[in-house]
Amino acid sequence: MTTVKDIAAAVGVSVATVSNVLNGRPNVGRVIRHKVLRAAKRLGYQPNRAAQAMRTGRTRAIGLVLPDLTNPFFPELAQAVENTARNLGLLVCLVDSQGRAEGEADGFALLMQHAVDGIIWCPVGPRLPPYLHDATPPVVLIDRPRPGFPVVHSDYLMGGRLLADYALRMGHRCVGLLSGPQNLASARQRRDGFVEAFPRDITVAWEVSVGFDGILNAEALKALKRRGKATLIVAGNDLIAISAMRCLVESGIRVPEDVSITGFDNIRWTDVVTPRLTTIAQPVGAIGAKAVQLMQARMSGEKIASGRTIFDVTLVERDSVRRN
């Protein structure tokens, strides 16, 4: 690897001057500036980030801590984060906690050792772990708000309302709720947005809460089989909806002929299951990009509000809901 020293030697100036040129400082003349730049290019100079990091305390790397790459929401997010980060010259260090707080803590420790400049984080568990004290680099949360931190996520209440409006419009008056984990605000708001948008028209025949990974518990299975008067099942996300559909058809219940169903997230697979799933689309790419931008702003010293950045969602009407 060529270093500033090599460039300095090649051009015949001091390393300080090389550094000054490379960092765009004004105190160096045109001709030497050009010489240095050309030598740098010719020698294929790549800055040694470790040395820079040691001197400046900034690594130009950020952490991305996710609970579960297996949920298709997250790869899409990761892709967006990585790409916009790369365009800013930031390296993305990945931690997949597999939903375990312990793994998350380990990953965090690793990120701290490597002194990442910031962390984009979708936390597991209801509260922030204790290792988040003042010395920690800036954190931007994704999807799961915690007091004191900026967070970016979709307008889940709006999503719930859109679904409610749509359900109403399609003539459904009695629904079953297969909500996500109610300790997560994102799941709660989807549900609440839906429920609150029906002043009194609605009847909730039953409500069961399951994990976002779409693994249905016994209670959910039971609710699906004898589904009461519900003509529409509102699932907490697409994974849940798809699992539920699978379970229904296996019990000989047809979708949407016998019962309608909606999802949330608009993952790729909503379009290939049968019937294609009606759902709410989140702008995942925009969310990831925004998180990186916030991060970058905080890293470069701007004081950004520790509030929320919320993205609109849209209804994607497909084939899993029929008029009642």
Partner DNA sequence: TCGGATTAGTAAAACGTTACACTAGAGGCA
Partner DNA sequence: TGCCTCTAGTGTAACGTTTTACTAATCCGA
Nearer to a second copy, 94 or 299 (CB): 94
DSSP string, 9-31: HHHTS-HHHHHHHHTT-S-S-HH
Tokens 């900026």, residue?
A: 150
The residue within the footprint of a second copy, chosen from 28, 112, 315, 316 (CB under 8 A), is 112
- For the bound state, the minimum distance from the C-beta of residue 165 to a second copy, rounded and expressed in Å, comes to 28
CB 124 within 8 A of CB 85: no
User: Measured between alpha carbons, how far is 122 from 139 in angstroms, rounded to an integer?
Assistant: 10
Q: Is residue 316 a contact partner of residue 279, using CB atoms and an 8 Å limit?
A: yes
In the list 3, 19, 83, 324, the residue contacting a second copy (rule: CB under 8 A) is: 83
Among 24, 31, 133, 135, which residue interacts with DNA (rule: CB under 7 A)? 31
| Cβ-count burial 252-262 (b if 16+ within 10 Å, e if not) | eeebbeebbbb
- The verdict on 14 binding DNA (CB under 7 A) reads yes
Distance CA 311, CA 190 (A): 14
Per CB under 8 A, the list member of 34, 42, 114, 169 interacting with a second copy is: 114
**Exposed (0-12), middle (13-18) or buried (19+): which is 324, by Cβ within 10 Å?**
middle
**What sections of 231-302 are H helices per DSSP?**
238-250, 284-299
Note whether 16 binds DNA by CB under 7 A: yes
Please, which residue, 54 or 215, has the CB nearer to DNA? 54
Q: Is 16 in the site for a second copy (CB under 8 A)?
A: no
Chain residues that interact with DNA, rule: CB under 7 A: 1, 3-5, 13-20, 22-23, 26-29, 31-33, 45, 47-48, 51-52, 54-56
Chain residues that interact with a second copy, rule: CB under 8 A: 1, 46-51, 53-54, 59, 61, 64, 69-70, 72, 74-76, 78-79, 82-83, 86, 89, 91-96, 98, 103, 106-107, 109-115, 135, 242-243, 245-246, 249, 268-269, 271-274
